[in-house]
Amino acid sequence: MANRVEGTKKELVNCLRNERIIVRHIPRQSNMVQNPKHVLYGGMAENAIRVFVVPRLTSGKYVNVLTNDEKDFLEHTMGLEDNALSIHKREHNFWDDSNPDGIAKVMLKKQDNYLDLSDPNDYIKYKILIANKDWIAPSLKALEDHPKATYQYVIIGEGDETKSAKNNMSNTMMCYKEYGKIEDDVDTLRLIIETLDGRPVASTSKLEFLQTKINDLIQANPKTFLKVVTDKMLPTKVLIRKGVATGVITKKGDYLYLRSDNKPLCEDGEDPTLNIAAKYLNDPKHQSIKFAIETELK
């Protein structure tokens, strides 16, 4: 189809794409169903259908899922009258499920759902799904970078899975490269595990246990592990952790203070949390404090 259609009142821009996308269910594990072969695995029965409609604003009006250019082109190519796709129509509204000639809802099954974006009907369904921002992840990247607990499906474009697998492989390789630099450093391994796992690790934990746990964390989410292990503040955070363990630094709740003079490890107006304390000690003007802590630890 030509990118531009001439001979009409307005120059029309083709919004359709020669692309086929997958709308894939995102399984959610539960304590009741953990077997992937179970018919209810992932929080959805095998034959279940979920329906997504055009969202409404607080005023009750439909969300505009199409741009004006998209409306103009689709009305022309679908042989509809002018403004047939307007959300403001009071009668025979295209987006109302009482209109048999409209597209008001998208039905998705548990198995992969396919949409052809060169087809006007499928393109409209795609735009309806995109408008359901709380339930549909617009891409694999969005799902990985900003996962929402409410996401039920993810839209996968052509080549996205290959790109994602390649990026994960690259991230995993980089993780193990960084891990090789600290694999025998018990204190650093323990802090990384606590940061990612959100739970304290016993000071008596053996190196082999920590190494095994680190491997599990890399496999589970290489991108997040890489972010933590390459944190420039990590060595200083480990230093603070050692200081707390030996009593050089006092911890009151989540706040950190020097034991010698009870001075908070932060600038005026800040709270001496771990991140702020690490930043404080890394500041060149506070190197004498950092060196004093290191000397006491030795």
Residues 201 and 90 in one domain: no
Residues 87 and 146 in one domain: yes
Residues 268 and 150 in one domain: no
CA angle 234, 240, 241 (to 5 degrees): 90
Dihedral, CA of residue 273, residue 277, residue 278 and residue 282, to nearest 10: 160
Question: Is residue 104 exposed (0-12), middle (13-18) or buried (19+ Cβ within 10 Å)?
Answer: middle
Residues 183 and 130 in one domain: no
Residues 143 and 175 in one domain: no
The secondary structure of 28-72 as a DSSP string is ---SS---TTSTTTTSS-TT-EEEEE--B-TTSPBP--S-HHHHH
Residues 271 and 285 in one domain: yes
Residues 106 and 219 in one domain: no
Mean pLDDT in each 10-residue stretch from start to end of the chain (298 residues)? 51 90 82 51 81 92 94 94 91 87 91 94 96 92 84 85 65 89 93 89 92 91 88 93 91 91 92 93 92 89
Residues 201 and 265 in one domain: yes
Domain end residue (candidates: 158, 184, 204): 158
Give residue 53's domain range.
4-158
Domain end residue (candidates: 127, 158, 189): 158
Structure tokens belonging to residue 189: 């391994």
Neighbours of 98 (CB within 10 A): 8
Residues 194 and 154 in one domain: no
Domain total for the chain? 2
Q: For position 198, what pLDDT does the model report? A: 82
Q: Model pTM greater than 0.75? A: no
Residues 148 and 169 in one domain: no
Residues 207 and 153 in one domain: no
CA dist 38 to 35, 44, 48, 66, 264, Å?
Answer: 5, 10, 14, 39, 54
Q: For position 1, what pLDDT does the model report? A: 47
Q: For position 39, what pLDDT does the model report? A: 47
Q: For position 29, what pLDDT does the model report? A: 60
Residues 132 and 18 in one domain: yes
Domain end residue (candidates: 158, 193, 220): 158
